[in-house]
Amino acid sequence: MTQVFNAAGHAVPVTVIHAPKVTVTQVKNTETDGYKAVQVGYGEQKQSRIAKPQQPKGDVRGLREFRFDGAEALEVGATFDVTAFREGESVVVSGISKGKGFQGVVKRYGFKGGPRTHGQKHSERERGSSGGGPGRAGGRVVKGMRMAGRMGSDRVTVPNLEVIRVDGAKNEIFVRGAVPGRTQKK
């Protein structure tokens, strides 16, 4: 993250997102595919590193598909870049959150833990009972019980991030606030 200054002179925290241009590789419609969508390719890749079924789509590194009703208005080969965004509009950003590794329930779910004093041993950061008694659970641990495990590396979507600036020469978008994921270099 960094900051930019608006017209009033206030510092605005922003995240700079490098977004290379994308090319329409396929337009799907309800007659042939059963739904309306557009498939776009992004990045550049050597022809020898592309799988044979994807080679007719061009020298693209990856493919993504977006469903929307106006897909039939687009043509294969059309390109889009960051200039499609306008300053002041809201965008939705999705990403993979930072991986935290194997974590306990205090960090993973915000459990309080046990008492620290009055004769307690080894229960400061434990979750307590799993509920496996003879009552409602029926002598078993119910599914979905929050326990220690791997934390992070999940797909996270942040809605309504304001576009502060668009730099078409560098293919960069400046959005207000933080986006999910680790710091990535260009």
Q: List pLDDT tens digits, range 58-106.
A: 788 889 999 988 888 889 989 989 999 999 999 999 999 999 999 999 9
Residue pair 51/142 in contact (Cβ under 8 Å)? The answer is: no
Average pLDDT along the chain: 91
Domain range 1-19+85-115+147-186, its CATH number among 2.40.30.10, 3.30.70.100, 1.10.1040.10, 3.40.50.300: 2.40.30.10
At a CB cut-off of 8 Å and minimum separation 6, what does 69 contact?
A: 36
State pLDDT tens for residues 22-67: 999 999 999 999 999 999 998 888 888 888 888 777 788 889 999 9
Closest to 22 measured CA to CA, from 77, 72, 71, 80: 80
CATH number of 21-80: 3.30.160.810
Q: What is the mean pLDDT of residues 175-179?
A: 97
Tell me what pLDDT residue 186 has: 59
**pTM, full prediction:** 0.79
**So where are the chain's domains?**
1-19+85-115+147-186, 21-80
Q: What is the mean pLDDT of residues 160-165?
A: 96
Tell me what pLDDT residue 122 has: 87
Tell me what pLDDT residue 137 has: 73
Q: What is the DSSP string of 115-138?
A: -SSSS--S-TT-------SSSTT-
